[in-house]
Amino acid sequence: MFTIGDFAQYGRVSARMLRHYDAIGLLRPARTDPVTGYRFYEAAQLARLNRIIALKDLGFSLQQVGAILAEEVSVPELRGMLRLRQAELSAALTAAGARLAQVEARLRTIESEGRMSADDVVVKPTGTVLLAELSGTAASYGPEDIGPVITPLYAELCRLLETAGVTPAGPGLAYYEDAPEPGEGSGRMADEHDSKDAIVVHAGMVITEEALAKAGATPAATAGATTGGTSGLGFTIVTLPGLAAAATVVHHGPMSRILPTAQNLAHWIDDNGYRSAGYARELYLECPPDQEKWVTEIQEPVVRA
């Protein structure tokens, strides 16, 4: 048998907690000395202690824990409950990490206001490109909504290109447009739960007609308009027209921290007699595994104000 101190050490709990469990009938000692009142425990009782702690970690009250143990929860059942709790905690941790990244981005935005040099921005035309792309809808244009949509799109697009034997001829290029109004083209009435801020996310990779021909696909898009057709390979082929004038700036680091760069670009556009003519495009120049080393050119279409 173990003294209460030794048993607490093996169970990684406090002796005070064991006394409380004894008082409420959740875990009685194997023997209590009638003279000294000292509590003694058996090694077999560690199994019950482990279940108590596990159920507490799942969020159950001690009263609920007692009721569950009275039904003799099996090891597979307890394992399943713990795995569910593990998934919930993991999701909460991921969400908290995303919120933290956005707070840090806003802080950098505030700290960097007005620091961008005019030399950082270049106004230039961009060329027409042939893209293989996939698209999806994000709840808003915010990085916190764009990221979870565009990341899996690119992962799937790269997989499809590799499967088809189509080698990209250039970097990734993402562009955006407003999603259709709720109910548009569907014949249904919009309700208050429909989002008016939804954005269509286009995740594209620059390709060539020669590469498509080798893969047995024929581009159905026509230069001069954002049109496209199904490739038969799981992705869409699009001819994306160039921009007559784009205010461009290079962003270094992950896209979750793009906000300071984008807002500094907005300041430059306003200060230099331009106005935005649409959503900015993102040309992913370098995308190594370490996102801190990413290099992205932001291309915002502009016209003279």
* The pair of three-digit structure tokens given for residue 20, joined into one six-digit string: 């409380």
Burial zone of 89 (CB within 10 Å; 0-12 exposed, 13-18 middle, 19+ buried): exposed
- Using a pLDDT cut of 70, give the percent of the chain over it: 86
Least confident of 23-37, 111-125, 139-153, 222-236: 222-236
- pLDDT at res. 191: 41
Output 287-294 pairs: Cβ under 8 A, ≥24 positions apart.
287/171, 287/172, 291/253, 291/254, 291/255, 292/253, 292/254, 294/252, 294/253, 294/254, 294/255
Q: Which residue has the tokens 């954005």?
A: 199
Segment 192-200 shows an average pLDDT of 67
**What pLDDT, on the 0 to 100 scale, is given for residue 177?**
95
pLDDT digits (tens, 9 = 90+) for 136-183: 999 988 888 898 999 999 999 999 999 999 999 999 999 999 998 765
Q: What gap in Å lies between CA 164 and CA 125, rounded to an integer? A: 32
Strand runs (DSSP E) across the chain, as ranges?
Answer: 2-3, 31-32, 39-41, 122-124, 129-138, 172-178, 199-206, 227-230, 236-240, 246-252, 274-276, 281-286, 295-304
- What are 241-270's pLDDT values in tens digits? 999 999 999 999 988 888 888 888 888 898
Q: 3 falls in which pLDDT band (50, 70, 90)?
A: very high
User: Which has more confidence, 106 or 270?
Assistant: 270
> Sign of torsion, CA 271 272 278 279?
negative
What is the number of H-type helices and E-type strands within the chain? 8, 13
Q: Are 176 and 298 in contact (CB under 8 A)?
A: no
pLDDT tens-digit readout, 20-57:
999 999 999 999 999 999 999 999 999 899 989 988 88
pLDDT band at 219 (very low <50, low <70, confident <90, very high): low
pLDDT grade for 225, boundaries at 50, 70 and 90: very low
pLDDT of residue 228: 52
For residue 260, what pLDDT is reported?
80
pTM of the model: 0.62
Looking at per-residue pLDDT, the higher value among 244 and 92 belongs to: 244
Q: What is the DSSP letter of 278?
A: S
Instruction: Give the mean pLDDT of 58-67.
Output: 86
Cα(6)–Cα(38) distance, rounded to whole angstroms?
A: 12
Q: Chain-wide mean pLDDT for the chain?
A: 85
Q: Which domains does the chain have, with CATH numbers?
A: 2-73 (1.10.1660.10), 118-182+194-304 (3.20.80.10)
Is the separation of the CB atoms in 259 and 141 below 8 Å?
Answer: no
Q: pLDDT band for 226, please (50, 70, 90 cuts).
A: very low
Instruction: Output the DSSP codes for 128-159.
Output: -EEEEEEEEEESSSSHHHHHHHHHHHHHHHHH
β-bridge partners, 134:
203
Residue 131: pLDDT band by 50, 70, 90 thresholds? Answer: very high
pLDDT at 27: 95
User: Please, which pLDDT band fits residue 69 given cuts at 50, 70 and 90?
Assistant: confident
Give the pLDDT mean for 177-201: 64
% the chain with pLDDT above 90: 50
Counting Cβ atoms within 10 Å, is residue 285 exposed (0-12), middle (13-18) or buried (19+)?
A: middle
